[in-house]
A and B are shown apart, each in its own frame.
Chain A
Amino acid sequence: MFSGITSSVPGMALAVIILTGMLSVLAAMLHPALFAVAAMMLISLAGIFTYRSRRTQTANATYPKVDRFFQQVPCYLSILNKDLEIIRTNELFRSDFGDRIGEKCHKVYKGSAEPCDDCPVLKTLADGQMHTTEQTVITKAGDLAKMIVYTTPVEDEQGNIVGVMEMATNITELKNLQKQIESGRREYRELFERVPCYISIMDKDFKILRVNELFKKELGAAIGRQCYEVYRKRDSVCPNCHVEQTLKDGKIHSGEKTVLKQDGTESRLIVYSSPIHDEQGNVQAVMEMATDITEVKRLQCELTYMGKTIAVMAHRIKNVLMGLEGSIFVINTGMEDGDEKLVKQGWEMIQRNSKNVSRMVKDLLYCSKEREMTFEQLDPTAVVQSVHELFEARAAQESIDLVMEIPYEMPTGWFDKEAIHSLLTNLVTNAIEACVNDTDDNKDGHRISLSARCDDNGNYVFEVEDNGQGIPGAVGECVFEDFFSTKGREGTGLGLLIAQKVMEEHGGTITFTSREGQGTRFSAVFPRAAEKRERV
């Protein structure tokens, strides 16, 4: 009431009048000294009331705004005293935790009788600084919520800390999203690293930004270097670069590529390059993915060769059939006409053709794994001699000089005699064919050399070299295709397949060098300790 009175001018006037009236009355009744004291008391009381109401008035003028803000702000606000008891809360706090005035904050937030281990309120009370923590709390409904909590000190007029204001925001949703993102990232990373193909990421300057595990292991890491330098030892972009194409048009490009692995072997890869876009949709990097198809290519070549071999064999069988039919006719004619010479000729024809078929079948069985392997300790020079003998006549017939170069003897090793014989026979046959089909008339005669020796490591090296027509075309991906010939009459058509099988069985390797028009050399190397291998 007094504050209302003293806050306005008419009010003030009224107060003065009343006061004057009272003083007048008292003056008449009291001793002058007593009156003076009473007057002073009344006036100072009036002064105090005025002063205090003024102060409250000012405070009350701004206080409603702060209060509204406090109540409505969308985070949990609570004010705690030095004993951690809640003395004030805002709307949101009350709705999720209840109006828990007087209760300890740790009881309200966590249902615990003790303060939390890292209680930020205590910290703030201790050092007067703001503190931030993440806490997990239980709402009034019993749900768990993750919060980020800020505590600030509340000070009195003297600057002493009398309490703490706690502000908390619910970050449960945020935390969940974070987890999802992290889990998504982890999955992606796993995929990137573990997928069984080579993945690399290059920037617009062809610099390698990132590679996956397999890549690192087999091709080397080389982060920061240009890709063309690392894979192909070039100092500029490779021709027909897929990465370049993708950088230009932002599309996926693919093709085949040969790379040199860290272990020194070559691999054939099928490569896809796909664009990586930035937020504006521009291509900022390229991801290159490659799968090793070396094995697939090898099988493809083998199958192609086998297919063609079958065609050749059919052709040769046709010839043999003709030979047999023809010889039957010749023999019959001879018998009809009583021409013994003719009969004899016909009979020889049958024998020749029969031998041919026999050879073909033997080779076919060998290739289709029906033959039993018989390994024994032997000196291979004997086999070489036998093959030389076998082809001497035929070579002479074609005016080919068949030369044998072997040491007097060689250390014995584990060999399947027939297999080695087959191998050398096939190689010599190919050589004869190469000479016979050679259209170069400027050569000073044809020559085939058949040799055997031990190299510095004690391995057996068999070589068949000719100066015939050579193998046309580039030394390509398909080793077998290069040898293919439909014109030849010498072999059974299975030559290369047999050669390959023999090498596999003995743990050896076969290579060749050739110059078109000049000649070919085959080298079959058998390891010193040729293992006795069982056929799978």
Chain B
Amino acid sequence: MAKTILIVDDEDDIILFLETLFRKNGYETMTAKNGNDALEVLKSHKPDLITLDLQMPKNTGTGFYRKIRHNEEYSKIPVIVVSGLPGRHLAIPKPEAVFDKPIDKDALLEAVEKAIG
């Protein structure tokens, strides 16, 4: 069965790009446009990986990340952070990988593969 990736990002362009990228490489995708919607999606379907944008309004990205890290059920899901802000590595503890914008798609795929195959 194909692995699913939950894309959390408020920008349509990024979602389209990432969806196209992942689908082309055999992954299935789900999307959420903010941290709260992402939590809702998690309840119904557990993804194998999450890509998370930290630069969303009202800091819902960082809020979401903290919540899942503290939640037993979700804390094991690997998270790849996508953020355009410098100093991103200081914002939150220990994601699988952190990517700067503009996203290097080959490097991203590599990281996804490494995390979930």
List chain A positions with a Cβ less than 8 A from chain B.
315, 318-319, 321-323, 325-327, 329-330, 333-334, 337, 342, 345-346, 349, 352-353, 436-439, 486-487, 489
Q: Which of B13, B55, B59, B103 lies in contact with A353, CB distance below 8 A?
A: B13
- A349:B105 contact, CB within 8 angstroms: no
Q: Which residues of chain A have C-beta atoms less than 8 A from B59's C-beta?
A: 439
Do A321 and B102 touch (CB < 8 A)? yes
Which residues in A have their C-beta under 8 angstroms from that of B21? 329
> Which residues of B lie under 8 Å from residue A337 when comparing CB positions?
24
Contacts of B17 in A (CB 8 A): 322, 326-327, 329-330, 349
Determine whether the beta carbon of B55 is less than 8 Å from that of A322: no
The answer to whether the Cβ of B92 comes within 8 Å of any Cβ in the partner chain is no
Given A436-B57, A437-B57, A487-B57: A318 and B84 interface contact (C-beta under 8 Å): yes
**Out of A319, A436, A487, which one reaches B101, CB within 8 Å?**
A319
User: Given A322-B103, A333-B24, A437-B58, 4 other A-B contacts at CB below 8 A?
Assistant: A318-B102, A323-B13, A329-B20, A346-B16
Give me the 8 closest cross-chain CB pairs, A-B, nearest first: A326-B17, A322-B102, A323-B13, A330-B20, A436-B57, A333-B20, A349-B13, A322-B101
B14 at the interface (CB under 8 A from A): yes
The dominant DSSP class at the A interface is: helix
Interface centre among B20, B24, B59, B101 (most CB of A within 10 A): B20
Instruction: Give chain B nearest CB distance to A434 CB in angstroms.
Output: 11
Cα distance A333–B102 in the bound complex, in angstroms: 19
Of B13, B55, B84, B85, which is within 8 A of A327 by CB?
Answer: B13
A to B contact number (C-beta, < 8 Å): 55
Q: Quick one: which of A318, A319, A326 contacts B16, CB cutoff 8 A?
A: A326
Q: Are B58 and A326 in contact (CB under 8 A)?
A: no
Supply 14 A–B pairs (Cβ within 8 Å), ascending by A: A319-B84, A323-B13, A326-B13, A326-B16, A327-B16, A329-B17, A329-B105, A333-B20, A337-B24, A342-B20, A345-B16, A346-B16, A436-B58, A487-B55
Measured CA separation A326–B24 after assembly (Å): 13
CA distance A389 to B14 in the complex (A): 27
Within the complex, what minimum Cβ distance (angstroms) separates A107 from chain B?
A: 98
Q: Once bound together, how far apart are the Cα atoms of A315 and B100, in whole Å?
A: 11
Q: Which residue of A lies closest to B101 (CB)?
A: A322
Q: In whole Å, how far is A252's beta carbon from the nearest beta carbon of chain B?
A: 41
Instruction: Contacts A315-B84, A333-B24, A437-B58 given; indicate if A352 touches B13 (C-beta within 8 A).
Output: yes
Docked Cα-Cα span, A321 to B84, in Å, equals: 12
The interface residues of chain A lying within 8 Å CB-to-CB of B57 are: 436-437, 487
> With A318-B84, A436-B57, A439-B58 as given contacts, are A330 and B102 in contact (CB-CB < 8 Å)?
no
Distance in Å: Cβ of A483 to nearest Cβ of chain B: 17
Residues of B within 8 A of A436 (CB): 57-58
Q: Bound state CA distance, A349 and B85, in angstroms?
A: 23
Annotate B1-25 by CB proximity to A: 1 below 8 A, 0 otherwise: 0000000000101101100110010
Q: How far is the CB of A89 from chain B (nearest CB, A)?
A: 99
**Nearest B residue to A316 by beta-carbon distance?**
B84
| Bound form: Cα–Cα A487–B60 in Å | 13
A318 in contact with B101 (CB, 8 Å): yes
Q: Tell me, in angstroms, the Cα distance from A346 to B21 when the chains sit together.
A: 12
A489 contact set on B, CB distance < 8 A: 11
Task: Chain A residues near B58: list those with CB within 8 A.
Answer: 436-439
CB A239 to nearest CB in B, in angstroms, measures 37
